């Protein structure tokens, strides 16, 4: 494939339009944010289009809030009416039908750029680039901007670098050669002082309260599986942060965090074992009750609670996970603390 082909296809996909609405997944993380601003930069600089970035949910983690402040708040809360105008829509770090973005089923995406598992509906977009073998969507946008021969400002380079770094844990989780190439290309262009400030962003006292709750709720099974049923999550991405922290426990191959945020049960799953695959396990655990997806080592899912008892649902999900991983849903774990 000619390396300029994706850029040409994006241009053709937006032919006849002067505006673009870019939508990352709900509760956008650094990879989604960086991919969105990278695409906005590409289409505004090369096509002269006006591009806006809209999102649903929350930007909850202190690090993510610090990144958004550094970028001068490039995202806005999405108004449902925005998607009903005659404006092309680009989904980044997510896909149609994934369940983690607000795109209605009756509105097609014009552009889809993602690194998660392929969904057939994405092929209906005018342009799609889905690469599950890549660790971060920001890697894809870094390649595009290189192809387009655009300059990388310190702000843009820092965001893209941080997006790759967080999604691959510094190239230590699910990273490909493309991620490594983008990572080291961006590294000398990064605003190092600001990056350190973002990574060390101060957190509210509720963060430590939630971490304390998660650790006390954690149960260890056969020294290689930890499940923490925290019941209430202060923000939707807190489970993922807890999962990343507790997976560091020596000997643990699997970590699962289950909790309720508003009207949804949130599942966060991490793995050091690629035999089963975190994404496959998440789908098996969630089943047809909700949506789930992920990679070999990182996955998540959510279930709309509706009229169900949230705590009974949490216990049910825990038992399903135990059945898949231990072959016995009644096995009893040992308190971590």
List the chain pLDDT tens, one digit each, 337 residues.
344 688 889 999 998 899 999 999 998 999 999 999 999 999 999 988 899 999 998 898 899 999 999 999 999 999 878 877 789 999 999 999 888 899 998 899 999 999 998 999 999 999 999 999 999 999 999 999 999 999 999 999 999 999 999 999 899 888 999 999 999 999 999 999 999 999 999 988 988 988 899 999 999 999 899 999 998 888 888 888 888 888 888 999 999 999 998 899 999 999 887 666 788 889 899 998 988 887 778 888 899 998 899 989 999 999 999 999 999 998 999 999 8
Distance CA 328, CA 332 (A): 9
Distance CA 214, CA 249 (A): 14
Q: Which ranges in the chain belong to alpha helices (H)?
A: 5-13, 30-47, 62-70, 137-147, 154-168, 177-186, 192-199, 205-217, 238-246, 278-286, 310-326
SS3 98: coil
Task: Give the distance, in angstroms, between the CA of residue 66 and the centroid of all CA atoms in the same chain.
Answer: 17
301 and 308 in contact (C-beta within 8 Å)? no
SS3 180: helix
Q: Largest Cα–Cα distance of the chain, in whole Å? A: 61
71 and 191 in contact (C-beta within 8 Å)? no
Cβ atoms within 10 A of the Cβ of 120, count?
A: 9
Distance CA 110, CA 284 (A): 31
Write out 255-322 in H/E/C secondary structure. Answer: EEEEEEECCEEEEEEEECCCCCCHHHHHHHHHHHHCEEEECCCEEEEEEECCCCCHHHHHHHHHHHHH
Pairing between β-strand 254-261 and β-strand 225-232 as defined by DSSP bridges: parallel
Distance CA 145, CA 237 (A): 29
What 8-state DSSP symbol labels residue 27?
A: S
Q: What is the pLDDT of residue 180?
A: 98
Environment class of 137 (CB within 10 Å of its CB; exposed 0-12, middle 13-18, buried 19+): buried
Environment class of 177 (CB within 10 Å of its CB; exposed 0-12, middle 13-18, buried 19+): exposed
């Amino acid at each position: 494939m000619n390396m300029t082909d994706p850029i040409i296809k994006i241009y053709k996909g937006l032919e006849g339009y002067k505006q673009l609405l870019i939508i990352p997944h709900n509760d956008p993380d650094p990879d989604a944010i960086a991919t969105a601003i990278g695409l906005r930069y590409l289409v505004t600089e090369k096509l002269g289009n006006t591009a806006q970035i809209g999102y649903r949910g929350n930007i909850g983690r202190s690090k993510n809030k610090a990144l958004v402040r550094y970028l001068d708040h490039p995202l806005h809360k999405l108004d449902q009416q925005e998607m009903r105008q005659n404006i092309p829509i680009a989904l980044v770090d997510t896909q149609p039908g994934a369940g983690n973005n607000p795109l209605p089923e009756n509105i097609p995406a014009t552009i889809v750029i993602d690194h998660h598992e392929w969904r057939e509906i994405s092929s209906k977009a005018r342009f799609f680039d889905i690469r599950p073998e890549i660790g971060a969507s920001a890697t894809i946008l870094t390649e595009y901007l290189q192809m387009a021969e655009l300059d990388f400002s310190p702000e843009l380079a820092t965001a893209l670098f941080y997006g790759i770094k967080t999604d691959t844990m510094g190239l230590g989780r699910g990273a490909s050669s493309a991620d490594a190439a983008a990572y080291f290309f961006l590294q000398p262009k990064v605003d190092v002082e600001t990056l350190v400030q973002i990574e060390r962003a101060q957190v509210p006292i509720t963060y430590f309260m939630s971490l304390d709750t998660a650790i006390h709720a954690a149960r260890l099974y056969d020294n290689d599986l930890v499940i923490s049923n925290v019941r209430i999550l202060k923000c939707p991405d807190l489970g993922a942060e807890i999962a990343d922290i507790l997976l560091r426990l020596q000997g643990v191959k699997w970590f699962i965090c289950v909790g309720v945020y508003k009207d949804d049960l949130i599942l966060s799953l991490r793995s050091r074992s690629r035999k089963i695959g975190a994404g496959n396990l998440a789908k098996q655990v969630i089943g047809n009750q909700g949506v789930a997806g992920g990679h070999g080592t990182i996955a998540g899912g959510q279930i709309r609670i509706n009229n169900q008892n949230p705590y009974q649902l949490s216990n049910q999900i825990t038992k399903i996970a135990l059945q898949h991983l231990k072959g016995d849903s009644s096995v009893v774990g040992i308190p971590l603390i």
